[in-house]
Chains A and B, each alone.
Chain A
Amino acid sequence: MSMNNQGRPSAIPAGAASFDGVTGTVTGNRGLQIEEPLIFEQDSAGRTGVDLPDVPQVASRLGAVKPRAKVGLPGLAEPQVVRHYTRLSQKNYAIDSGFYPLGSCTMKHNPRLNEKMARLPGFSDVHPMQPVSTVQGALELMDQLAYWLKTLTGMAAVTLAPAAGAHGEMCGIMAIRSAHEAKGDTGRTKILVPESAHGTNPATAAACGYSVDAIPATADGRVDLEALKAKLGPDVAGLMLTNPNTCGLFERDIIEIADAVHAAGGYFYCDGANFNAIVGRVRPADLGVDVMHINLHKTFSTPHGGGGPGSGPVVFAESLAPYIPVPYVTHGKGGFALVENAGEGPAFGRMKAFHGQMGMFVRALSYMLSHGADGLWQASGDAVLNANYVMARLEDVLTASFEGPCMHECLFDDRFLKGTGVTTLDMAKALIDEGFHPMTMYFPLVVHGALLIEPTETESKASLDQFVDALRALAERAKSGDVAYFQAAPRLTPRRRLDETAAARKPVLRWTPPVPAEALAAE
């Protein structure tokens, strides 16, 4: 009997966890990894985690609507709720706990000063429909953020309304369509999108009523300029191009691309998801961009929050500036004013209920002020340096997809795994056991078995070295033929490989209350 079992039943209960030869526990917990049932499984009727004042005795006035009998929610006291969510949080990998090299996602440090600023009651406790005389500071903040974004991109106008990057894409393409319509140019039905683009690009074009034509990539990972030129014509409304692109490369021919699109009467939309790499060093306006969204949460460090919220302001060149959606801030007499209705100008409409993701604006401006012009120059430089360093240290064991300097992310494919029986996915899962969040896998689609690594500027050389060493060791292990090791990974996580196929085949998307025994008996 091992010391581990002191004070515990000697028999291992059925279903108890066991791994790597360590005996299972009675509870199924493993030290700090504590099993946590669903909140609905911890119900005790009548319990609550809030104390509310008594309800004044008045006759209710609900018209013809009946009050509902029951919602079906569980009841828990405050400490139970705190423990539930704390335990759940401990099952998450996060940038605060380790290196998160997700290419195209930009997982960098989230300064807590930004959080503190966003929670100032002057920002967080302000209602969107307060009289504008009582929200002059909020409007001034939006105006300042707009100034920073216009200065950093060299563009003429900006809307802060879109709620996320993909929402910004929609805004930009709607502006392009509005501009063509204003000119009476209605024959343009197509948007060109490189095949390496994010899936949001074609989905956005379709959501704005366009058909999508894919542009192939060249052998060096860039847009094929000749193929692009061949597709340009009177039916093309515009081009959506990510720059730096999703292979982590700068589109060398970008000015020529922009000229060709303009010559054909189209507009050049730049997907600004990777603005992080060039912010403060290159102004998109100088590259010929007409419109571009900026993911505030990526380039300007607002936290990803497990999947949002984001914020996707869009900058416009003069040519498209008249079409920005409402609402927007203007300088009125005696202070800042808000234009809230599309009827007041050529704005194409409205994207969101209120004025945009104010909480994100505060965080982004706080980050911009903290870095300043000199800090942003250094930050984009360090982001690019880190990515090139990782590439240089790995390219003798992994296969880099393209030659030459990468921007803020580096791309490998699965040629180095050829014949080993180990897949890109297996590598990713093995990295988890080493304490790293895996890189982006199987994207971009233009290379086979892609591994896209984005270190960002907030990683130290030591953390990059540790990651590189782990990845090198795993690559060697794969080449040595230890397939079983990879296929069983991850071993040390709260859950091992999850069956995604089963989840999709017969979707279970919510908890349902257990059927009472008496009801079952009655059947």
Chain B
Amino acid sequence: MRYLPLTEADRQSMLEAIRATSVEDLFRDVPKAARLAGPIGGLPNHMGELEVERLLGSLAAKNIPAGSVPSFLGAGAYRHHVPATVDHLIQRGEFLTAYTPYQPEVSQGTLQVLFEFQTQVALLTGMDVANASMYDGATSCAEAVMMANRVTRRKKAILSGGLHPHYRDVTTTDARFIGFEAVALPAAPTGGEDLLALVDDKTACVVVQNPDVFGHVRDYTDLAAACQAKGALLIVVVTEALSLGLLTPPGDMGADIVAAEGQSFGNALNFGGPYVGLFAVKDKYVRQMPGRLCGETVDADGRRGFVLTLSTREQHIRREKATSNICTNSGLCALAFSIHVSLLGEAGITQLAQLNHAKAVQMADKLAAVPGVELLNDGFFNEFTVKLPKPAAAVVEELAKRRILGGVPVSRLYPGEMEDLLLVAVTETNTDADMDAFAAALSEVLA
């Protein structure tokens, strides 16, 4: 019990100070029928550090780490190289073990990081302002739709068929409980949906994703203008934040809200979490935003400093009238994002994005050369969809047996649908040898 500093002697002297007979006596308000007489049954007793390492190590060993084999998985989570500096800095106890910066005089470190993070997100997305992060991209997307409802006072959302189905599901789940209509279009693996035709005077927002879940990149400038003309907001979702280093940003296309997943910068795959949701808006919507915001101010000596601000939107003041029930952010993940973006800088982010795209182009060509494989995308960033002559799920299992993680079968995202489609993501972590091995293995499996 190495985490507990009290000794038996301490406990005795403290009980005397309290004038209590025993620690159990302090639990006397708990109904007797519900009080356990001793340590709970059915669980092991405490273990030493070495034992815990062995036990968890044995579980970890049953997984295949993506980095130990050629891996081409994406679909909303991307394996990038995270510089050693990032993980070192986020493990500094002053960042790792601090709380929400409610006392700004002793939290300037976290607060300045959040202010810089908000600026980085605004710059990357091309938007005016960003908040201090959300749980993940999907919850960001759902919150964006709820916010559009508050801004427009309309009760319908149109969700593109290119929106990641998990994002769609999180959004429709949230919408259903407040009686808000979220119309999700069928999956559009080759695009061609007419979103605008569905926009009417009840439509609060249209949600598109760029690059979309099938990897297509599109220019949404015309859609943004058309939405605006009809009084609806355009929400642009981005699941691969690195694409913002190369593509025209959503803000420049006229987006009103950007909801994105920031995992690609600084954060490991972690089997799906924790990740970091990005949320950025036009200036005029700031007071309708969910989540936490850090703002600049001055201290009693007139020096620049930072505080959490606009908290009158938040649940600890507004209670049931708050913009959201979220009372935290993904602080440490946002810090990792921020450090990675700072390390890359303008030059690094541009080159890294170009590198991802160029490698994806090479991989797409290699796969398209495999007999029976057809590439679906004209334009893409670092992820694309191929059509296979066999069910993709079975192909992926075969590839896994050959120790290649060859992408995500589209049917895993849309059960029972598009069973011949495979989503393939390529990043800077994929070597030429990885790509050749994947193409060769796929040829074999399809032969």
Contacts and interface: CB of A to CB of B under 8 A. Distances in A.
Interface residues of A, number: 206
B238 to A, nearest CB: 13
B29 A404 contact: yes
B271 A203 contact: no
B90 to A, nearest CB: 8
Contacts of A202: 315, 319-320
A353 B136 contact: yes
Contacts of B112: 36, 38, 88, 91
B412 interface: yes
A209 B124 CA distance: 35
A377 B383 CA distance: 50
B441 interface: no
B118 A510 contact: yes
Contacts of B155: none
Contacts of A49: 83, 85, 342-345, 348
Interface string A84-110: 111011111111110010100101011
Contact of B14 (A63, A378, A461): A461
A380 to B, nearest CB: 9
Interface residues of B, number: 218
Given A94-B96, A96-B94, A405-B26, A283 B52 contact: no
B106 A437 contact: yes
Contact of B46 (A370, A459, A494): A370
Interface in B273-320: 273-276, 286, 292-303, 305-307, 309-312, 314-320
Interface in A343-393: 343-344, 348-360, 362, 365-366, 368-379, 381-382, 384-386, 388-389, 391-393
A67 interface: yes
A504 B309 contact: yes
A254 B35 CA distance: 13
Contacts of B357: 60-62
Interface in A206-247: 206-209, 211-212
A375 B46 contact: yes
B192 interface: no
Contacts of B269: 124-128
Interface in A114-166: 115-117, 119-131, 133-138, 140-141, 144, 148, 151-152, 163-166
Contact of B62 (A140, A252, A310, A443): A140
B69 to A, nearest CB: 9
Contact of B325 (A207, A255, A310): A207
Given A58-B358, A497-B105, A498-B105, A374 B346 contact: no
Contact of B104 (A82, A379, A495): A495
B167 A353 contact: yes
A136 B60 contact: no
Interface stretch (A3-11, A301-309, A474-482): A301-309
A188 to B, nearest CB: 13
23 contacts: A60-B357, A62-B380, A63-B216, A74-B345, A81-B339, A90-B109, A110-B97, A116-B53, A120-B57, A125-B269, A138-B271, A163-B274, A209-B179, A349-B169, A353-B137, A384-B27, A385-B6, A388-B18, A432-B103, A432-B106, A457-B4, A496-B300, A504-B309
Question: What 4 A-B pairs have minimum CB-CB distances, sorted nearest first?
Answer: A63-B379, A354-B272, A122-B60, A305-B332
A137 to B, nearest CB: 3
B442 interface: no
Interface in B1-55: 1-6, 10-11, 13-15, 17-20, 23-31, 33-36, 38-47, 49, 51-53, 55
B263 to A, nearest CB: 9
Contacts, number: 741
B157 to A, nearest CB: 15
A286 to B, nearest CB: 4
B55 A369 contact: yes
Interface in B107-151: 107-110, 112-116, 118-120, 122-124, 126, 128-130, 132-133, 135-139, 146
A493 interface: yes
A354 B330 CA distance: 16
Interface in A396-432: 404-405, 428-429, 432
A350 B182 CA distance: 14
A121 B348 CA distance: 26
B77 interface: yes
B320 A352 contact: no
A13 interface: no
B119 A40 contact: yes
B432 to A, nearest CB: 9
A385 B96 contact: no
B315 A493 contact: no
Given A71-B123, A88-B112, A212-B319, 19 more contacts: A56-B362, A73-B123, A90-B109, A96-B93, A96-B96, A121-B65, A125-B65, A129-B412, A164-B326, A199-B316, A209-B177, A280-B36, A282-B27, A306-B95, A306-B110, A375-B3, A405-B25, A498-B298, A507-B310
Nearest to B67: A125
Contacts of A391: 18
A438 B172 CA distance: 41
Nearest to A510: B119
A307 B331 contact: yes
Contacts of A447: none
A507 B170 contact: no
A460 B6 contact: yes
A372 B218 contact: no
B26 A122 contact: no
Nearest to B88: A82
